[in-house]
Structure 1
Amino acid sequence: ICTQGNIPLTFQSCIIAKDCEMSDWSTWSSCSKTCQSGDLSPGFRSRNRSVKQIPLAGGKECQETEEKEACYVGGEMLPPCP
């Protein structure tokens, strides 16, 4: 937005708003567990992405760069450990 009063438009310095730009998500990591132990805590996996363009001049803010979720095998809980 140009808000420099009486300066001719061709001489005004303007800051153009730019939204944050994120890379695509990476592939999911391997599950932190391969089987379910006696503590019944789930395993987790994660994926990441990076910021390609930081927001400028009030542009849309960046979202999370990491996502985590509990690991399930084929929609089922992990199999019991031997």
Structure 2
Amino acid sequence: LCTQDSFPLTVQSCIMPKDCETTEWSSWSPCSKTCRSGSLSPGFRSRSRNVKHIAIGGGKECPELLEKEACIVEELLQPCP
């Protein structure tokens, strides 16, 4: 007659952690404003990047994929009609 001792059961992932990987940032888009108006609100421009590999096995999650910033070009633009 055999008896089996009870051992703690541990489960460990066989997946090696891999961080998210993204492409390089794209070029900045043109400013959203194309002419100067009376308002002082700035235009905006943006750039993006894509995911090459998603995070797996507890790796570092993907960073933001879209970046947006104000572009103040009022002095460079012609007045709006």
Deviations 1:44-70 (Å, cap 9, x if unpaired)? 000000010100011001000000001
TM-score by length of 1: 0.72
**RMSD value over aligned CA atoms?**
2.1
TM-score by length of 2: 0.73
Give the corresponding residue for 1:67.
Answer: 67
User: In structure 2, how many angstroms separate the alpha carbons of the residues matched to 1:38 and 1:72?
Assistant: 14
Q: Quote the offset at 1:36 in angstroms.
A: 3.1
Does residue 18 (structure 1) correspond to residue 18 (structure 2)? The answer is yes
Q: Percent same amino acid at aligned positions?
A: 62
User: In structure 1, how many angstroms separate the alpha carbons of the residues matched to 2:11 and 2:27?
Assistant: 47
Residues matched between the structures, number: 69
Letter in 2 for 1:54: I
Q: Is the Cα–Cα contact under 8 Å of residues 25 and 49 in structure 1 kept in the other structure?
A: yes
Give the corresponding residue for 2:40.
Answer: 40
Deviations 1:18-64 (Å, cap 9, x if unpaired)? 00001000000000013331121100000000010100011001000
Q: Is the Cα–Cα contact under 8 Å of residues 36 and 42 in structure 1 kept in the other structure?
A: no
Q: Any stretches of 5+ residues in structure 2 without a counterpart?
A: 1-9
User: In structure 2, how many angstroms separate the alpha carbons of the residues matched to 1:26 and 1:43?
Assistant: 19
Does residue 49 (structure 1) correspond to residue 67 (structure 2)? The answer is no
Letter in 2 for 1:62: C
Segments ≥4 residues shifted beyond 6 Å: none
Q: Any stretches of 5+ residues in structure 1 without a counterpart?
A: 6-12
